[in-house]
Amino acid sequence: MPAKLKSRSGCLTCVTRKKKCDEAKNGSPPKCGHCFRLGLACVWRSREQAEGSRASTAISTTNLKAKSPPPRLTVSNGYPSFRNDFEKQLTLESSRLLQPLICPTAGPGFEELTLLGSFCTQSQLVRDAVVAFAAHGQASRSTDAYKTSLTSYQSCVKGLQRGLAYEGSSPAEKDQVLAAIFFLGLLESLKFGDPSHYLAHFEMCRRLLISRLSDDSVLQDALLIKLYRMIAEAVTYTIATNSQYSLSHNARAVGQSFKCLFPGDDYSTSSPFLGGVHKLYHIMFEVNTLLRPARTDQGPALSLTVAQSCSKLWGELDDLEGSIEALYATSSIAEEAIRLYKVKHQVAILALRIHLIKISRPSAVPLDPDIQLHLASVIEVLAQQDVREPGNPALRWPLIILACAAETDHDFQFLSMRMHDIAAVLDPVDSRKLVSTCITLGRYRREPDEYRHYQIETCEGPRHIRSQLDFLLEPRLLDESVYPHVSEHRSASPDVPVQKVSNARIEEI
């Protein structure tokens, strides 16, 4: 028999929904009957807030027979009020907001982040960031949703700017600031697409999270650890797969900073986003740092340093490749999911080998025997396995590497088809990067002379683009927005020549 409904002073979720609360506390974390049944974030007042609220609602004796209407009482719970019903709805659904991004290999419990509901109720910063992210997902269906997203985004950014000095904040406030910046970074990296913005926000997340992990007590809070893992993996992935698109390249490698969040070396049952192989993204970032090495050495000395780094990373890829089978040997997830993730890891490793070859030997071309060997292996794998996974962009950068290495029309068309297939099930930013790469490389294959004036830096000194593999040494040139004529006329015939632009324009991008 369901619990009897009680007063309207139960959980804050029922208060905001104007529902009576049964005040039951089911499961862990505790939820009232309404929230448990509807899958909502169930947020309870602290004892101090409850007592304060009761005190604030005390009223004097009134004449019930008086003709004037009874006074309307506003119950204050000490938290920011909702601007409108849409914001309230998005906040109540926030605990499951990240569910579409969770990989099938994730451990139990990652699909619902109840702590996020509490943060949204308590902090205007977190609420603005979460509402901005959630509303933007509905922007294509509603103009009001787009306006809400933009307004909330601007409000959150301004709020962060007003309180940039977090040193004096309480631990709870620091966690809320961390969560707010995390969602700003997600919105920018998945929806907006400006690397300078989301790399800066994720770098800030990295620093704040490392600071919080210096307090050993936070590792005892299971709900907080779940949020930290989400943030740690988003930071790791974003820095690894996007730093090569930024000229400033200020992002720093994650290294072992987050190791305490994932006990042991087996991430397969505790990884919400990355599917278990965190090491792959650490290597990917290290490879990208070789694109713009420190210029303390020049000439042969720089070439030797880069070659040694490439050799070290090649060995790490060997070790990683040998550990993939063992990673899933005792996994309880579905066999189909295991097969998918094994293929994804294999494709990414082979693609990174091609990138290392090009960085260590800048004159290498797609017809290089070693590159052809790795490319053939990948195409054979992709011909047998469908690697599409809605919302998971893990193969976006590896596929771009492979497309740059495709020499024959058959190989390029095959990879272009796979890239468009995957783009159809990804977020706007990653989808745009895949499609933009196909457009740029397709035009280069038809009109290579239009690109030869672009100069790129290598460990052997500057060089001009001589093959499509050279784009891997300056990935920003794969972005069609670098070429105004193409970006302004996407529907134009592919035979329209690209206007030449100066390197100054590229610097702006």
* DSSP line for 287-316: HHHTTS--TTS-THHHHHHHHHHHHHHHHH
Q: Is 26 helix (H, G, I), strand (E, B) or coil?
A: strand
Percentage, residues of the chain above pLDDT 90: 38
From the number of C-beta atoms within 10 Å of its C-beta (0-12, 13-18, 19+), residue 461 rates as: exposed
Q: Give the CA radius of gyration of the chain.
A: 26
Q: pLDDT band at residue 44, thresholds of 50, 70 and 90? A: low
- For residues 457 and 40, give the distance between their C-alpha atoms in angstroms, rounded to a whole number: 52
Q: Is pLDDT larger for residue 262 or for residue 466?
A: 466
CA angle in degrees (0–180, nearest 5) for 147-149-153: 120
Cα separation values, 136 from 96, 146, 323, 393, 478, Å: 16, 6, 39, 19, 26
Give the residue with greater pLDDT, 266 vs 159: 159
Same domain membership, residue 213 and residue 83:
yes
The verdict on residue 430 lying in a domain is yes
Average pLDDT, the chain: 80
Question: Quick one: tokens of 404?
Answer: 């740059």
Amino acid present at 487: S
The predicted structure's pLDDT at residue 440: 94
Q: Which of 243-247, 427-431, 432-436 has the lowest mean pLDDT?
A: 243-247
Same domain, 264 and 338: no
Confidence of residue 169 (pLDDT cuts 50, 70, 90): confident
Same domain, 194 and 332: no
Higher pLDDT, 34 or 496: 34
Give per-residue burial for 144-160: e unless 16+ CB within 10 Å, then b: ebeebbebbbebbbebb
Q: Which residue has the higher pLDDT, 153 or 331?
A: 153
Based on the domain organization, do 7 and 122 belong to the same domain? no
Residue whose C-alpha is closest to residue 284's, from 208, 396, 374: 396
- Residue 282 belongs to some domain of the structure: no
- 463: helix, strand or coil: strand
Per-residue tokens: 253? 């490698």
Q: What confidence score (pLDDT) does residue 508 get?
A: 31
The verdict on residue 483 lying in a domain is yes
Within 84-123, where are the H helices? 85-92, 114-122
- The tokens describing 297, both together, are 């050495």
The rounded Cα 486 to chain-centroid distance in angstroms is 28
CA 227 to the chain's CA centroid: 14
CA 240 to chain centre: 11
Closest by alpha carbon to 478, among 445, 433, 421, 448?
Answer: 433
Tell me, yes or no, whether 293 lies in a domain: no
Phi, psi of 26 (to 5 degrees): -95, 140
Looking at the predicted structure, is the pLDDT value of residue 136 above 70?
yes
In a shared domain, residues 24 and 98:
no
Same domain, 32 and 92: no
Q: Band of the pLDDT at 170, cuts 50, 70, 90?
A: confident
Q: What is the pLDDT of residue 486?
A: 46
The most confident of the ranges 145-154, 218-227, 385-394, 434-443 is: 434-443
Secondary structure in 3-state letters for 402-433: HHHHCCCHHHHHHHHHHHHHHHCCCCHHHHHH
Check whether residue 118 and residue 154 sit in a common domain. Answer: yes
Given a cut of 90, whether residue 413 has pLDDT beyond it is yes
Whether residues 365 and 266 share a domain: the answer is no
pLDDT at 57 over 70: no
Tokens at residue 16, please? 């905001």
In-domain check, residue 324: yes
Q: What is the 3-state secondary structure (H, E, C) of 352-367?
A: HHHHHHHHHCCCCCCC
pLDDT at 317 over 80: yes
User: What are the φ and ψ backbone dihedral angles of 31, each rounded to 5 degrees?
Assistant: -135, 145
- Of the candidates 276, 308, 332, which is a domain's last residue? 276
- Which pairs from 25-32 meet CB under 8 Å and 24+ separation? 29/114, 29/223
Asked whether the predicted pLDDT for residue 17 surpasses 80, the reply is no
Dihedral over alpha carbons 486, 491, 492, 497 (to 10 degrees): 20
More reliable by pLDDT, 18 or 364: 364
Q: Is residue 124 part of a domain?
A: yes
Together in a domain, 387 and 422: yes
What mean pLDDT is predicted for residues 119-137?
91
* Contact indicator for 114, 95 with CB cutoff of 8 Å: yes
pLDDT of residue 58: 36
For the segment 175-210, what is each residue's pLDDT rounded down to a tens digit?
999 999 999 999 999 888 778 888 889 999 999 999
| pLDDT band for position 126 (cuts 50, 70, 90) | very high
The answer to whether residues 16 and 96 belong to one domain is no
pLDDT at 30 over 70: no
327 and 213 in a single domain? The answer is: no
Q: Flag whether 16 is in a domain.
A: yes
So what's the pLDDT on residue 65?
A: 40
Percent of the chain, pLDDT > 70?
78
Per the structure, the complete domain to which residue 479 belongs is given by: 298-509
Look at residue 59 and tell me if it is in a domain.
Answer: no
Instruction: Say what the pLDDT of residue 55 is.
Output: 40
Cα 321 to Cα 345: distance, rounded to the nearest angstrom: 8
Place of tokens 């950014």: 157
* pLDDT tens profile 458-474: 888 888 999 999 999 99
Give pLDDT tens digits for 320-343.
999 888 878 777 788 888 899 899
149 in the same domain as 117: yes
The total domain count for the chain is: 3
